[in-house]
C-alpha cells in the first residue's frame, strides 16, 4: 500500500499529463509459431501493463523452459484456444506509456482467419507484420500486408522476429527487408493505397528491440518497436478534410428544439457553415453545435455532437450532412472491394442488406470483376498479383465487384474516407455479417434524379417508383413454356433473390370455356404486373428446355443450375427493362 | 465554449525526453490535425454506440449495476441524447445481496437523472434462501444473476441490453464484440461471433434473439476513474476508504452485511478499507486502503500490482470460469 503523502501525488499534474496522451490503435497478426503472442505479451509485461495476479495465473504453465514465463498465455483468452494452443478470434488489449495510450487488435494470422485480420485492420492506424527471420517472407505475411493496404492501415511496422535464432545477422535482415519492400510496392499498385513501412529486427523471446533497444545488433541504430509506436503521428482524419456527418438520430425533446445527433466522421464543423443533406440535396447553415457540456464553437472528427440548423429541412436518420463546398457522391451503382466473411458464399443477384454510415439499404452484387488469390500455394515472391475470374466469393476470399443499390446513398471512395467509403453486407435470412466492402468508385446520380426519386409521397396512391425501391424490380409478365422443373427453378431463384412473383398456370383444354379462362388469366396477369409484381405464366410441356418470353425478348434455358438460371434470367429482365432503375435517364414508365 | 480539451496543433509535440534518454525515434510524415485526448475519443465512440442502439432496436434497456462503470455509462447516455431525455429505462438485477448503500444510491441516481428504473429479482430463488455459502458461488450466480437477468429481459421483452463490461477486465471479455449476439436462450457463442468492422454494427436479429451492447468496451479501469474525476460523476461511498467493521481472514477483508455468516469465535475489527469493485456482499472482498477521494484512488491505482477482479471470488472458481458463465447468458 502506498502512503500518499510520501509520493506527493498531484492529481492536476497527473491529469494534465494524461490529457496530453492520445490514442493509437494498432493491429497484429501472426500464426501459431511466429511469436506474435509472445511479442504482445512482452510489450504488455515490459511496459508493466499486466498485474501480478495475471502473471501468477500463468506461471509454470505453457511451453517455455522452466522458470521462463510463456508470454503467449497472457493473451490467449478462450478455453478452446488454450486447449488447442492457437488463437481463434480478435482480442483487444490495452496499455499505455508516458506518451500515449494504445489499443491492440490482436488477430490470428492463418488463412482461414482473413476475416479476423480485416476486422482488426478496419480501425487500426498501424499494423505490426511479424516475419520469422529464419523463414523469410511467407504467403501469410503477404496476405497480412495486402489486407492492411486494402483496409488502408497507414503504417506497416515489419518486425523481423527470432533474430536470436538467425545469429542477429544484418544480411538476413537486409534480405528480408528488400523482399518485403518489393512486395509492398506490388500490393500498393493493386489496392491503390500506399503504405509507409518500417523494419525493426527483434527477438520477442529475448526482448531485443521490443521495448528496449538491443545491444545484440549494433548495426541497427533505429528505434525499438515501442519507441516507433510512441512516435507515429496519429492517423486520424485530417481536419481540413471535407465535413462528413452521418445523422444517427433526430432529437426533438419539445417543439422548440430539433437537433441532428451524430459523430463527425471527417472534417470540421462551425456555426455558420453551409451544409447539404444527402441524398436529398437540401441545404442549410449550421446554427448551433449542441453538447451536454455546452455549445461548441467548432467540432471535428471524431467528436459526437448534435447539430442544429438555421431552418427546418427534412432530415432523418441515415442522411449524410456534408459541407456544401465538397459534397459526397450520391449513387446507386458502386464498385467495391469485398472481403467475404461467411461460410455461405456470395450469391450474385441475390438481395443483401448494405449498411453504410447510419443507414441500411437493399443491394445486389451485379457483377464480380475478379478475385485476388492470396492462398498459401501461390508464390509469395511473384512479380505481380494475379487476378482470377470468379463467379462467386467464398469465406476469406477477396474480390472486386459492382453493386446495385435499391436506394441512392451518399458515399466517398474508401481511399478518400475510411468511414464514408466503407460498408458491410448482411444476409437477410441468417442476419450474419457476410462481407466487408470498400468503395473504389461510384457512378454519380444527377441530383435532379436523386431528388425526384426521394420525393416520398405520404399520401395518395403508391407509385411505381416506390414499389421499385421496395422490391428492386418493375412489374412485368414472363411467359414460361417447356420444362416444368426448370420453370420451378426460375420461380425459386427469383423468389430467393427477393423478387415479388405471382405464378399462374395456363389452363389446359379447348372451347369457349377455355378461351374465357385464358382471357381472365391474361387480365389477372396484367393487373398484377401493373401492381409491380413479376408474373410468371407457366405452360408445361414435355420439352427438356424452357423458353421464357419477356416483352419482345426471349431466352432459352436448358439447365436447372440455379446460378446459371439466375445469370440468364437477369440478362433477360435487363433487356426487357424490368430492372431499369426509375431514376435512370433511360427509364420509361 | 465548453471545456472539451481539443489540443491545437502546437501542443501535439511530444514531451522532451529526459537527459540521457535514447534519442527519439525519427518521425514519419505529419498530417495537419489537432488531437483529442484519449478520454474524449473514448467518450465520442461510446456516445456513437449508444445512439446507434437507441435508433436501431425497438426495446433497448440499460443494465444498471450501480458500480463505477454503470455510473460512467449513465453519464454517457445523458450526453448522447441531450437535450432529450434518455430514451430507454434502466434495469437493475437485484440479488438481494447488494450493499445497503448501493440500493440507496441507485434510487437517488435514477431520480436525479430522471430515468425510469426497473428492478428484477429472482424471487423464487431468493425466497428459497439461495446463497453462496450453501450453494457454491457458481450456482448462486447462475440463479440470482444469470437466471434473473434472462428472466428480466424476457419479461419486458427487451431486444438490446447495454452492459458496462470492459474488455480489459478479464481474458474472455477481451474477445467480446461491442454488439454481442445472444441466441434465443440468451447464450454467447464465442466461436461464432459476427465480424465487427469500422463503426458499422449489425443490429439484425430474429424474434427472441437479443444483443448485449458494451459501450465501454475500449475503456480501462484507469480511464473510468479519470473520467469520473474529470466529469465529477457521483459514485457509491463504498469505493472510498473509511474505518469499516470487517472480518479478517488471512489477507481477505470481508465486509459485514446482513447476510454474513461468521465462523465460530470470529469477531469483526475496524479496518480502514474500501471496495475496488462492487458486487454481492458475501462475494466481494474489501482492500486495505487510505484512498478517501477520487484523486487518492487514482494514485492508489497507479501503485497497484493486482487486477481489479482479483478480489472477486466468482472469477476464480475454475480456469475460464467467466467464459463459461458468459456462455450461459451472464454479462
Task: Give the pLDDT band (50/70/90) at residue A84.
Answer: low
Q: How many residues in total does chain B contain?
A: 331
Phi/psi of residue A584, nearest 5 degrees: -85, 150
Region A565-583: mean pLDDT is 82
CA angle A567, A573, A574 (to 5 degrees): 90
Helix locations, B176-220, DSSP H? none
Same domain? For B188 and B76 the reply is yes
Q: Which residue of B24, B168, B300 is in closest CB contact with A231?
A: B24
Burial class (CB in 10 A: 0-12, 13-18, 19+), A392: middle
Q: Check residue B259 and give its pLDDT.
A: 61
Q: Check residue A339 and give its pLDDT.
A: 95
CATH 2.40.30.10 domain extents, chain A? 244-323, 329-455
Task: Select the more confidently predicted residue: A354 or B97.
Answer: A354
Same domain? For B173 and B256 the reply is no
Same domain? For B90 and B169 the reply is yes
Return the CATH number at B103. Answer: 3.40.50.620
CA A127 to chain centre: 17
Cβ A4–B31 below 8 Å, yes or no? Answer: no
Same domain? For B107 and B202 the reply is yes
Q: Check residue A270 and give its pLDDT.
A: 96
Q: Check residue A398 and give its pLDDT.
A: 93
Region A459-478: mean pLDDT is 82
Closest residue in B to A80 (Cα–Cα): B191
Residue B26 pLDDT exceeds 50: no
Collapsed DSSP state (helix, strand, coil) of residue B200: strand
Residue A378 pLDDT exceeds 80: no
Average the pLDDT over each of A439-448, B31-40, B273-282 and give the range with the smallest value: B31-40
**Helix, strand, coil % in chain A, rounded to nearest 5:** 25, 30, 40
CATH 3.40.50.300 domain extents, chain A? 17-231
Residue % of chain A over a pLDDT of 70: 84
Domain assignment of residue B244, given as a range = 224-316
* B261 found inside a domain: yes
Cβ B28–A196 below 8 Å, yes or no? Answer: yes
C-alpha cell at A381: 515472391
Q: Which residue of B190, B290, B323 is in closest CB contact with A4?
A: B290
DSSP structure string for B112-167: HHT--EEEE--HHHHHTT--TTTS-HHHHHIIIIIIHHHHHHHHHT-SEEE----T
Residue B330 pLDDT exceeds 50: yes
Task: Select the more confidently predicted residue: B70 or A373.
Answer: B70
Residue B190 pLDDT exceeds 80: no
Q: Which residue of B14, B190, B306 is in closest CB contact with A52?
A: B306
Q: Check residue A455 and give its pLDDT.
A: 61
Residue A159 pLDDT exceeds 90: yes
DSSP structure string for A283-298: EEEEEEEE-TT---S-
C-alpha cell at A482: 417447356
CA distances for A437 relative to A297, A323, A433, A539, B98, angstroms: 35, 24, 11, 42, 47
Cβ B310–A252 below 8 Å, yes or no? Answer: no
Closest residue in A to B293 (Cα–Cα): A11
Region A484-493: mean pLDDT is 92
CA angle A224, A228, A234 (to 5 degrees): 165
Task: Give the pLDDT band (50/70/90) at residue A295.
Answer: very high
Task: Select the more confidently predicted residue: A86 or A20.
Answer: A20
Residues 335-354 of A with CB under 8 A from B: 341, 353
Task: Select the more confidently predicted residue: A470 or A289.
Answer: A289
Relative orientation angle of helices B68-81 and B38-56, to the nearest 10 degrees: 70
Residue A589 pLDDT exceeds 70: no
Collapsed DSSP state (helix, strand, coil) of residue B66: coil
Q: Check residue B312 and give its pLDDT.
A: 54
Chain B nearest CA to A366, separation (Å): 23
C-alpha to C-alpha distance for B72 and B65, rounded to whole angstroms: 11
Average pLDDT, chain A: 85
Relative orientation angle of helices A562-575 and A484-496, to the nearest 10 degrees: 80
Span B202-253, pLDDT tens digits = 999 998 899 999 999 999 999 999 999 999 999 999 999 999 888 888 777 8
Region A12-18: mean pLDDT is 88
Question: Does any CB of chain B come closer than 8 Å to the CB of residue A33?
Answer: no
Average pLDDT, chain B: 82
Same domain? For B194 and B58 the reply is yes
Same domain? For B45 and B156 the reply is yes
Q: Check residue B207 and give its pLDDT.
A: 87
Region B109-115: mean pLDDT is 91
* B279 found inside a domain: yes
Closest residue in A to B295 (Cα–Cα): A11
Same domain? For B154 and B116 the reply is yes
Same domain? For B291 and B158 the reply is no
* B25 found inside a domain: no
Region B53-64: mean pLDDT is 96
Residue A189, H or E segment: helix A170-191
* Fold assignment, A329-455: Elongation Factor Tu (Ef-tu); domain 3 (2.40.30)
Region A330-344: mean pLDDT is 94
Same domain? For B42 and B136 the reply is yes
Handedness of CA A57, A63, A69, A74 (dihedral sign): negative
C-alpha to C-alpha distance for A262 and B139, rounded to whole angstroms: 43
Q: Assign domain A244-323 to its CATH architecture.
A: Beta Barrel (2.40)
Same domain? For B155 and B192 the reply is yes
DSSP structure string for A19-79: HT-EEEEEEEEE-TTTTHHHHHHHHHHHTT-S-HHHHHTTTT-SSSPTTS--GGGGT--SH
Chain B nearest CA to A563, separation (Å): 27
Q: Assign domain A17-231 to its CATH architecture.
A: 3-Layer(aba) Sandwich (3.40)
Q: Check residue B28 and give its pLDDT.
A: 38
Q: How many domains does chain B have?
A: 2
Cβ A302–B45 below 8 Å, yes or no? Answer: yes
Chain B nearest CA to A89, separation (Å): 7
Task: Give the pLDDT band (50/70/90) at residue B6.
Answer: very low
Q: Respond yes or no on whether ipTM tops 0.90.
A: no
Closest residue in A to B176 (Cα–Cα): A91
Residue A376 pLDDT exceeds 60: no
Q: Are A69 and A30 in contact (CB under 8 A)?
A: no
Collapsed DSSP state (helix, strand, coil) of residue A243: coil
Q: Which residue of B82, B174, B295 is in closest CB contact with A93?
A: B174
Same domain? For B324 and B196 the reply is yes
Residue B297 pLDDT exceeds 90: yes
C-alpha to C-alpha distance for B157 and B159, rounded to whole angstroms: 6
* B233 found inside a domain: yes
Q: Check residue B260 and give its pLDDT.
A: 64
Region A126-147: mean pLDDT is 88
Residue A469 pLDDT exceeds 50: yes
Same domain? For B286 and B209 the reply is no
* B7 found inside a domain: no
Region B177-195: mean pLDDT is 85
* B13 found inside a domain: no
- Which residues face A334 on adjacent strands? A403, A442
Question: Does any CB of chain B come closer than 8 Å to the CB of residue A127?
Answer: no
Q: Sort out which chain B residues have CB atoms less than 8 A from A293's CB and list them.
A: 2-4, 79
Region A237-242: mean pLDDT is 73
Residue A583 pLDDT exceeds 60: no
Amino acid at each position: 500500500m502506498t502512503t500518499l503523502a510520501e509520493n506527493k501525488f498531484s492529481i492536476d499534474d497527473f491529469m494534465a499529463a494524461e490529457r496530453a496522451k492520445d490514442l493509437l490503435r494498432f493491429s497484429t497478426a501472426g500464426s501459431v509459431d511466429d511469436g506474435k503472442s509472445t511479442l504482445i505479451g512482452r510489450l504488455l509485461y515490459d511496459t508493466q501493463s499486466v498485474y501480478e495476479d495475471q502473471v501468477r495465473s500463468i506461471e509454470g504453465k505453457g511451453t517455455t523452459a522452466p522458470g521462463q514465463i510463456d508470454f503467449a498465455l497472457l493473451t490467449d483468452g478462450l478455453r478452446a484456444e488454450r486447449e488447442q494452443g492457437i488463437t481463434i478470434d480478435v482480442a483487444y488489449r490495452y496499455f499505455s506509456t508516458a506518451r500515449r495510450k494504445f489499443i491492440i487488435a490482436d488477430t490470428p494470422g492463418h488463412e482461414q482467419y482473413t476475416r479476423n485480420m480485416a476486422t482488426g485492420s478496419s480501425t487500426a492506424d498501424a499494423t505490426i507484420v511479424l516475419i520469422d527471420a529464419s523463414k523469410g517472407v511467407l504467403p501469410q505475411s503477404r496476405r497480412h500486408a495486402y489486407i492492411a493496404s486494402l483496409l488502408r492501415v497507414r503504417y506497416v511496422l515489419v518486425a523481423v522476429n527470432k533474430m536470436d535464432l538467425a545469429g542477429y545477422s544484418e544480411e538476413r535482415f537486409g534480405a528480408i527487408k528488400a523482399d518485403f519492400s518489393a512486395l509492398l510496392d506490388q500490393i500498393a499498385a493493386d489496392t491503390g493505397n500506399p503504405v509507409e513501412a518500417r523494419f525493426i529486427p527483434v527477438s520477442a523471446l529475448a526482448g531485443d528491440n521490443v521495448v528496449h533497444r538491443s545491444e545484440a545488433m549494433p548495426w541497427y541504430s533505429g528505434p525499438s518497436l515501442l519507441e516507433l509506436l510512441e512516435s507515429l503521428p496519429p492517423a486520424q482524419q485530417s481536419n481540413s478534410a471535407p465535413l462528413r456527418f452521418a445523422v444517427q438520430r433526430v432529437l426533438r425533446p419539445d417543439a422548440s428544439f430539433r437537433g441532428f445527433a451524430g459523430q463527425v466522421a471527417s472534417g470540421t464543423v462551425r456555426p455558420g457553415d453551409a451544409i447539404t443533406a444527402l441524398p436529398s440535396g437540401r441545404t442549410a447553415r449550421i446554427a448551433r453545435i449542441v453538447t451536454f457540456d455546452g455549445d461548441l464553437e467548432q467540432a471535428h472528427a471524431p467528436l459526437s455532437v448534435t447539430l442544429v440548423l438555421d431552418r427546418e429541412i427534412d432530415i432523418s436518420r441515415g442522411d449524410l450532412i456534408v459541407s456544401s463546398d465538397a459534397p459526397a457522391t450520391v449513387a446507386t451503382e458502386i464498385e467495391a472491394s469485398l472481403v467475404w466473411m461467411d461460410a455461405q458464399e456470395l450469391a450474385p443477384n441475390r438481395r443483401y442488406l448494405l449498411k453504410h454510415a447510419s443507414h441500411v439499404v437493399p443491394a445486389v452484387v451485379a457483377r464480380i470483376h475478379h478475385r485476388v488469390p492470396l492462398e498459401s500455394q501461390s508464390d509469395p515472391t511473384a512479380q505481380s498479383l494475379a487476378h482470377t475470374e470468379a463467379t462467386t466469393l467464398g469465406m476469406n476470399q477477396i474480390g472486386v465487384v459492382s453493386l446495385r443499390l435499391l436506394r441512392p446513398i451518399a458515399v466517398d471512395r474508401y481511399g478518400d474516407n475510411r468511414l464514408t467509403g466503407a460498408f458491410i453486407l448482411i444476409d437477410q435470412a441468417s442476419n450474419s455479417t457476410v462481407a466487408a466492402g470498400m468503395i473504389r468508385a461510384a457512378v454519380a446520380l444527377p441530383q435532379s434524379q436523386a431528388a425526384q426519386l426521394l420525393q416520398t409521397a405520404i399520401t395518395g396512391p403508391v407509385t411505381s417508383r416506390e414499389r421499385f425501391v421496395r422490391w428492386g424490380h418493375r412489374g412485368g409478365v414472363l411467359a414460361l413454356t417447356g420444362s416444368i422443373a426448370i420453370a420451378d427453378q426460375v420461380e425459386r431463384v427469383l423468389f430467393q433473390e427477393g423478387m415479388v412473383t405471382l405464378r399462374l398456370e395456363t389452363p389446359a383444354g379447348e372451347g369457349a370455356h377455355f378461351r374465357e379462362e385464358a382471357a381472365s388469366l391474361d387480365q389477372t396477369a396484367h393487373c398484377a404486373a401493373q401492381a409491380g409484381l413479376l408474373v410468371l405464366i407457366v405452360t408445361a410441356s414435355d420439352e427438356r428446355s424452357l423458353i421464357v418470353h419477356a416483352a419482345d425478348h426471349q431466352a432459352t434455358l436448358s439447365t436447372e443450375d440455379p446460378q446459371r438460371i439466375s445469370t440468364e434470367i437477369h440478362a433477360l429482365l435487363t433487356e426487357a427493362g424490368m430492372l431499369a432503375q426509375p431514376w435512370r435517364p433511360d427509364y420509361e414508365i | 465554449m465548453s471545456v472539451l480539451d481539443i489540443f491545437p496543433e502546437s501542443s501535439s509535440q511530444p514531451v522532451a525526453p529526459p537527459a540521457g534518454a535514447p534519442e527519439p525515434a525519427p518521425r514519419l510524415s505529419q498530417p495537419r490535425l489537432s488531437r483529442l485526448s484519449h478520454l474524449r475519443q473514448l467518450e465520442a465512440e461510446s456516445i456513437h454506440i449508444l445512439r446507434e442502439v437507441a435508433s436501431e432496436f425497438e426495446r433497448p434497456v440499460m443494465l444498471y449495476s450501480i458500480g463505477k462503470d454503470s455510473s460512467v455509462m449513465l453519464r454517457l447516455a445523458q450526453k448522447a441524447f441531450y437535450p432529450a431525455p434518455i430514451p430507454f429505462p434502466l434495469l437493475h438485477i437485484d440479488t438481494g445481496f447488494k450493499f445497503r448503500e448501493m440500493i440507496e444510491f441507485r434510487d437517488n441516481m435514477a431520480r436525479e437523472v430522471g430515468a425510469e428504473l426497473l428492478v428484477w429479482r429472482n424471487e423464487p430463488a431468493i425466497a428459497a434462501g439461495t446463497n453462496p455459502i450453501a450453494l457454491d458461488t457458481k450456482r448462486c450466480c447462475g440463479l440470482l444473476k444469470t437466471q434473473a437477468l434472462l428472466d428480466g429481459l424476457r419479461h419486458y421483452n427487451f431486444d438490446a441490453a447495454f452492459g458496462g463490461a470492459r474488455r480489459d477486465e478479464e481474458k474472455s471479455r477481451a474477445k467480446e464484440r461491442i454488439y454481442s449476439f445472444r441466441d434465443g436462450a440468451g447464450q454467447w457463442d464465442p466461436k461464432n461471433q459476427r465480424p465487427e468492422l469500422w463503426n458499422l454494427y449489425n443490429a439484425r436479429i430474429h424474434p427472441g434473439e437479443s444483443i448485449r451492447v458494451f459501450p465501454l468496451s475500449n475503456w480501462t479501469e484507469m480511464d473510468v476513474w479519470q473520467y469520473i474525476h474529470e466529469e465529477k460523476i457521483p459514485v457509491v461511498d463504498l469505493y472510498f476508504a473509511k474505518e469499516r467493521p470487517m472480518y479478517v481472514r488471512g489477507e481477505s477483508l470481508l465486509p459485514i452485511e446482513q447476510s454474513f455468516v461468521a465462523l465460530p469465535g470470529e469477531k469483526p475489527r475496524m479496518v480502514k478499507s474500501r471496495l475496488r469493485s462492487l458486487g454481492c456482499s458475501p462475494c466481494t472482498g474489501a482492500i486495505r486502503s487510505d484512498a478517501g477521494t477520487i484523486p487518492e484512488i487514482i494514485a492508489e491505482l497507479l501503485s497497484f500490482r493486482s487486477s481489479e477482479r482479483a478480489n472477486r471470488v466468482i472469477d476464480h472458481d475454475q480456469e475460464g470460469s467467466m467464459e463459461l458463465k458468459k456462455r450461459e447468458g451472464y454479462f
